[in-house]
Amino acid sequence: MFEEVRSGELRDVVGENGGVSPTERSVAAGAGGSSAAANPSGPAADPRIAGPTDVPTDPSVASADAAAVTLTGPQLRSAAETFALLATPVRLHLVWLAARGPQDVGTLARLAGVTVATASQHLAKLRGAGVVTVHHSGRHHIYAVDDPHILGLVEQIFEHIAPDGGLAPDPPPPDRGYRVAGRSRS
């Protein structure tokens, strides 16, 4: 569970110590096994580890952390739930298929290699989460991915993962017209 502390910073508030064990505090503080109480100003090595009362006091660290952490607890929970929903290979396959163009449930089931009943159950969960949309055409349910964020996410993940399941090579960086010293562009 996360809680917004100040200016967008988050801390884990699970348990008495804000989700950070005394051992983790000691390691982060470089205390070599001493308790968090022995370091009342909080962990010096990693000011992002904030317990219930120890918030970073160094203004340069606080401003850097505030700029880097702009997520809220509800955003993190919702994103985690979306990724958990897509963590099932069948659901991810159905989303990928629906992202390629509107399809009826029978076609999606056949292409995904599952029964219509299985596809329908997964599509209902995806629809409930807003990942896919459904339109009715007579007795047919036509599923699609209309959200550009979901379309981009699906496209990016399969550009990132190679067909063999490993990581795909990174694309070459765009040519921005930079010159190497002593060389000119031709």
Q: Which domains does the chain have, with CATH numbers?
A: 2-71 (no CATH), 79-160 (1.10.10.10)
pLDDT of residue 61: 52
What is the bridge-based pairing of β-strands 103-104 and 133-137? Answer: unpaired
Backbone conformation region of residue 141, classed left if phi is above 0, alpha if psi is from -120 to 50, else beta: beta
Q: Please, which residues have CB within 8 angstroms of residue 141's CB and are 6 or more apart in sequence?
A: 104, 105, 123, 134, 135
Phi, psi of 98 (to 5 degrees): -70, -30
Structure confidence at residue 20 (pLDDT): 39
Nearest to 131 by CA among 105, 106, 177, 98: 98
DSSP state, 136?
Answer: E
Q: Is residue 27 classed as helix, strand or coil in its secondary structure? A: helix
pLDDT tens, residue by residue, 94-119: 999 999 999 999 999 999 999 999 99
What pLDDT is stored for residue 136 in this prediction? 94
pLDDT computed for residue 164 by the predictor: 93
Amino acid 80: pLDDT: 96
Strand intervals (E) in the chain: 2-4, 10-12, 103-104, 133-137, 140-144
Q: Which residue has the higher pLDDT, 39 or 148?
A: 148
pLDDT confidence of 93, banded at 50, 70, 90?
very high
Q: How much is the pLDDT for 95? A: 97
Q: Mean pLDDT over all residues of the chain?
A: 74
User: What is residue 31's predicted lDDT score, i.e. its pLDDT?
Assistant: 39
* Residue 49 reports pLDDT greater than 70: no
pTM: 0.57
Spatial distance between the Cα atoms of 133 and 167, rounded to a whole number of angstroms: 30
Does an H or E element contain 82, and which? Answer: helix 73-85
Is the pLDDT reported for residue 34 higher than 80? no
- Give per-residue pLDDT as tens, 115-167: 999 999 999 999 999 999 999 999 999 999 999 999 999 999 999 999 999 99
The angle subtended at Cα 125 by Cα 70 and Cα 98, nearest 5°, is 90
Angle of helix 105-112 versus helix 89-99 axis, rounded to 10: 120
